[in-house]
A = this chain, B = another copy of it.
Amino acid sequence: MNLKQLSELLGLSQTTVSRALNGYPEVNEATRERVLQAVKETGYRPNKAAQRLATGKAGSIGLVMPTAPGHQSDVHFGEFLAGLGEESVRHDFHFVIMPSDPDDEVAALRRLAISGNVDALFVAYMRGHDPRIPMLKSLSMPYVVHGRSFGSEPDYPFLDIDNEGAFYDATRLLLQLGHTRFALMNGPMHLDFAIRRKNGVISALAERGLTLDEDCMSHALMTDEQGLLAMERFLQLPNRPTAILCSSTVLALGAIRAVNQAGLRLGEDISLIAHDDVLPLLKPESFSVPLTTTRSSLRAAGARIAQRLIGTVKQAGPFPDQELWKTELIVRASTGPAPQQL
């Protein structure tokens, strides 16, 4: 069943039927009703490819999924996708995923943009001075950046959380509890959020005249394995840290295993605050010692970005171009007063 057949069935022109379907005002309400009824009965569905060709709109948003043989498939990515998905299905959009080697993202993004398969782009895993930003600007296609790019003029549309503020607050809490020896277990060094979180820690420490040693910083993929390794290193330092800031609950998982293995008690010998992306798989409150966290839902961010992108494509009102979400600092049992000096 196509439009032509449907219109013949109804004794109307294709124009009228098309207009009735797409909510144009210049159609008699009675006629529209008839058309809608016929659609129900015949199960007519407009051909997407033809719609696309005619309108130039694809009804989909595109994104690049970093993946390579052997590359980590990131839990955080799946969670974000879920948010994006929930929102797009609500608007009858779908999304197109272009897998790409993480080293080749600019090219992948360009391919996706010119493929004509998408109306808008979303990008994540931002780095400092990210080359994708100028590229996106040069494209005439709506986009939203998840995160920001340190070092680039922030004049592009983004949604980010206040990473620096989150880790500043977390650090201050630990300072107030009397801790003086800190360590930071961070994501890969080149990623924007990692830079900002580090800055947050450093500036809070600086207020008390403290610094963060090179030894007390780790930059790695956010896996439990890396968390374990990093923590083991920290614990072997001559003057080992008592306060740990951790960029993910996944890292925390490994870190805590290391703490346990060393026979230390979390929340007493070692205090730890992790950033919580609200992964349903890893609830900080159900850790054996519930985790103090800075919280911001990755899924909610995904949904919001989808909303902005789709709204822009549909020209449904203006959206704020730049959003910075505050995180919540939630205190649980993994933080406690600094242990007495030995």
How distant is A297 from chain B, measured CB to nearest CB, in Å? 11
Q: Does A167 contact B (CB under 8 A)?
A: no
Most buried by B among A72, A82, A115, A223: A82
Q: Is the CB of A281 within 8 A of B72?
A: yes
Q: Does A257 contact B (CB under 8 A)?
A: yes
What are the residues of chain B within 8 A of A72 when measuring CB–CB?
A: 280-281
What are the residues of chain B within 8 A of A100 when measuring CB–CB?
A: 89
Q: Is the CB of B97 within 8 A of A224?
A: no
What are the residues of chain B within 8 A of A58 when measuring CB–CB?
A: 49
Chain A 225-245 per-residue mask, 1 if CB under 8 angstroms from chain B, else 0: 100100000000000000000
How distant is A282 from chain B, measured CB to nearest CB, in Å? 7
Could you tell me which residues of chain A, from 57 to 113, have a CB within 8 Å of some CB in chain B? 58, 60, 65, 67-75, 77-79, 81-82, 85-86, 88-89, 94-100
Q: Does A13 contact B (CB under 8 A)?
A: no
Could you tell me which residues of chain A, from 244 to 294, have a CB within 8 Å of some CB in chain B? 250, 253, 257, 260-261, 279-283, 286, 288
Q: Is the CB of A286 within 8 A of B60?
A: no
Please name the residue on chain B nearest to A79 by beta carbon: B73
Q: Does A131 contact B (CB under 8 A)?
A: no
Q: Is the CB of B53 within 8 A of A67?
A: no
Known contacts A99-B86, A100-B89, A299-B73; decide if A225 and B49 are in contact (CB<8 Å).
Answer: no
How distant is A114 from chain B, measured CB to nearest CB, in Å? 6
Q: Looking at the complex, which one of B69, B95, B225, B261 makes contact with A286 (CB distance below 8 Å)? A: B225
Please name the residue on chain B nearest to A45 by beta carbon: B114
What are the residues of chain B within 8 A of A69 when measuring CB–CB?
A: 86
Q: Is the CB of A73 within 8 A of B65?
A: no
Could you tell me which residues of chain A, from 15 to 62, have a CB within 8 Å of some CB in chain B? 45, 47-50, 52-53, 56, 58, 60
Q: Does A116 contact B (CB under 8 A)?
A: yes
Q: Does A307 contact B (CB under 8 A)?
A: no
How distant is A226 from chain B, measured CB to nearest CB, in Å? 10
Q: Is the CB of B117 within 8 A of A48?
A: yes
Known contacts A72-B280, A75-B75; decide if A96 and B96 are in contact (CB<8 Å).
Answer: yes
CA distance A69 to B79 in the complex (A): 11
What are the residues of chain B within 8 A of A60 when measuring CB–CB?
A: 96, 117
Q: Looking at the complex, which one of B73, B86, B96, B223 makes contact with A68 (CB distance below 8 Å)? A: B86
Q: Is the CB of A94 within 8 A of B94?
A: no
Q: Is the CB of B73 within 8 A of A78?
A: yes
Q: Looking at the complex, which one of B56, B78, B282, B283 makes contact with A77 (CB distance below 8 Å)? A: B78
Q: Is the CB of A281 within 8 A of B224?
A: yes
Closest 7 interchain pairs by CB? A85-B99, A49-B52, A78-B78, A73-B82, A48-B116, A49-B53, A67-B82
5 new A-B pairs (CB below 8 Å) besides A73-B279, A257-B288? A52-B53, A53-B53, A70-B280, A85-B97, A95-B97
Offer 29 A-B interface pairs, CB within 8 angstroms, sorted by A: A45-B114, A50-B53, A52-B52, A52-B53, A53-B53, A60-B96, A65-B81, A65-B85, A69-B86, A71-B82, A73-B81, A73-B82, A73-B280, A73-B281, A73-B299, A75-B75, A77-B78, A78-B78, A81-B97, A82-B99, A85-B97, A88-B99, A89-B98, A89-B99, A94-B98, A224-B281, A224-B282, A225-B281, A260-B260
